Amino acid sequence: MFESGDKRTAMNSLKNILPKFTLRGVLVWVFLAQTQFSQAQGVLEILSQPKDLTVPINDVATFSIEVSNPSGTPLTYQWHWNGAELFGMTNAAIRLTGVQPFQAGSYSVVVRNDVGTVTSDPAVLSVAGIVTWGATDNGENSVPAGLTNAVAMAGGPFHTVALKADGTLVGAGHNEFGQLNIPAGLGEVVAISLGSYHGLALTSTGTVVQWGDQGASQGNVPAGLGQVVAIAAGAYHSVALKADNSVVAWGNNSSGQTAVPPGLTNVVAIAAGSFHNLALRGDGTVVSWGSCGPPPPGLHAVVALSAGGSHDLALKADDTVVAWGDNGSGQTQVPPGLGEVTAVAAGGYNSIVLKADGTLVDWGLVGSTRMPTGLTNVVEIAGVSQHSLALLGTGPPFLRCSPVGHSAALGSFSAFRIEASGENPLTYQWRLNGVDLPGATRCALVLNAVQADQAGL
C-alpha cells in the first residue's frame, strides 16, 4: 500500500506496471485467438450419422459414420452400446454378425482427433423374428428366416407359421402331412393357430380357413361358419368363437373335446389344448371340457387363459397366475412374485408368462435348451408340445385380438382385453363412447362392479 506523501513514487510505479500488464494481456489475447482459430480450422463435423436398423435374428447389422476432418490429424473412434464402450469397436464402421435379441439397443460413436471430439446421435438396433427354445432333435426350432415384419405366430410340434403385417402367412419346418401347405388367396389374415398337423387362419371377414392333415379326423370347417372373432387349434380338433359369444368346435372327438357344453354363452375368449378346451366367460369365470379336469373351485376375475398338453393357465385381473392339471414336470408350480403379467402360455410340459416390460418367466420341463438369457421386447408367447416360442416386437402397433363385446349384470365383474404386437413399449388408452377413461392404460380393462353408466362402446 502506498503512503499519501509518496504520490510521485506511486505514479512511477504504476507506469512501470501498467505497460507490462497490458502487454501481457495482449499476448494472452493473441495466443487465445490463435488457438481458437486453429480449433475452428480443425473442428470435426459429422456428415453422415449412424442409421436406425431393424434386422432379423442371425442376420448382419452394420453401423457407420462419416466425419469431416479439416485438420487432417488422425481420427480415433469408440463405439458404445447403451452407453457402454464396445471393446475393439474402434473403426468408422462396425459390423455385427449373427445378431441376437440381446444385442438390440442404442449404438453411438465418439470420434476424436488432436483438436476436438464429436459424438454421434444414437442409432437404434431392433432385432426382429421368432425366438425358440426347448427340444431341437426333430426340427422343433424351425422358424421362418428373414422375418422383419411378423405380427403374430403359431407353433406346431415340428413347424411354425408367422403372420406378416401385410396379412400373409409364411411357414417353416416339417411338412410331411401338408401342415405347411398354406392355401393361396386367403385374403387378409388376422389370426392363426396350429394343431399337430393342421392349421387354421381367421380372415378379416370373419371366415376360417383350414389346411393340413385329415388322417386323424381333423374334419373340415363347418359349412356357413362366419362372424368368427377367435380361433384355436388342438392336436386334432378346432374351436371358433363367434361374435355372438357362442362357441363352435369340430374335428377329432376322442375325449369329448368337440362336444361344446350346452348353454355355454357369453364367451369372450377360447383356448385349445391337446384334447381339451377352455372358454372364458364375460363374468371372468372359466369353463373346460375334454380330457383335462375342471378349473379350481372359485376361480374368477380371469382376463386371459391358455390350454396346454395336460395343464392349463389363467391370468387374473390382479396379475396373479393360476395353474391346474398335470404337474409331472412342475408345470403348475407358479413362481411367486411374477409382477405385472400380460399373457400366459401353457406348453406340453412347461408354462410361460409374458410381463409388461417385455420379459419372460418360464418353468417346468422345457427340453434340451433353456430360454435365452436377456430376452426382452417380446410381444407374444406360445408353448408347444416340447418347445416354446417368443415373438419380438417391431414396427407400428398391430391388434392380434380385439376386445369381444359381451353382456354383464349390474355389480358383477367384467373385463375387456386386447392383444397387440409392435415395437415396445406399447401404450394403451381405453375409451368409453369415444372418451378416454382415466387410468385405463393397460391391455386389459377391468370393471370390478359394473354400473349402468358403463354400458356402451
The phi, psi pair for 193, rounded to 5°, reads -155, 145
> Which whole number is the average pLDDT over 45-73?
96
Judge whether residue 30 has pLDDT over 80: no
> Which whole number is the average pLDDT over 196-222?
96
State the pLDDT at residue 123.
Answer: 98
Task: For residue 348, count CB atoms less than 10 angstroms from its CB and return exposed for 0-12, middle for 13-18, buried for 19 or more.
Answer: buried
The phi, psi pair for 266, rounded to 5°, reads 55, 40
At 108-159, the pLDDT tens digits run 999 999 999 999 999 999 999 999 999 888 888 899 999 999 999 999 999 9
Of 413, 406, 420, give the one whose Cα is nearest residue 448.
413
At 403-436, the pLDDT tens digits run 999 999 999 999 999 999 999 999 999 999 999 9
At 229-276, the pLDDT tens digits run 999 999 999 999 999 999 999 999 999 999 999 999 999 999 999 999
Judge whether residue 11 has pLDDT over 70: no
Mean pLDDT in the chain?
90
* β pairing state of 123-128 and 53-56: parallel
Cα distance between residue 276 and residue 255, in whole Å: 7
Work out the end-to-end distance of the chain between its first and last CA atoms, rounded to an integer number of angstroms: 88
Residue pair 179/166 in contact by the 8 Å Cβ criterion: no
The type of residue at 42 is G
What DSSP assignment string belongs to 19-49? HHHHHHHHHHHHHHHHHHHHHHHH--EEEE-
Judge whether residue 15 has pLDDT over 50: no
| Cross-strand pairs, 118 | 111
Judge whether residue 360 has pLDDT over 70: yes
Cα distance between residue 241 and residue 269, in whole Å: 7
Cα distance between residue 210 and residue 182, in whole Å: 9
HEC per residue, 353-416: EEECCCCEEEEECCCCCCCCCCCCCEEEEEECCCEEEEEECCCCCEEEECCCCCCCCCCCCEEE
State the pLDDT at residue 43.
Answer: 84
State the pLDDT at residue 79.
Answer: 98
At 329-348, the pLDDT tens digits run 999 999 999 999 999 999 99
| Cross-strand pairs, 170 | 162
Cα distance between residue 228 and residue 205, in whole Å: 8
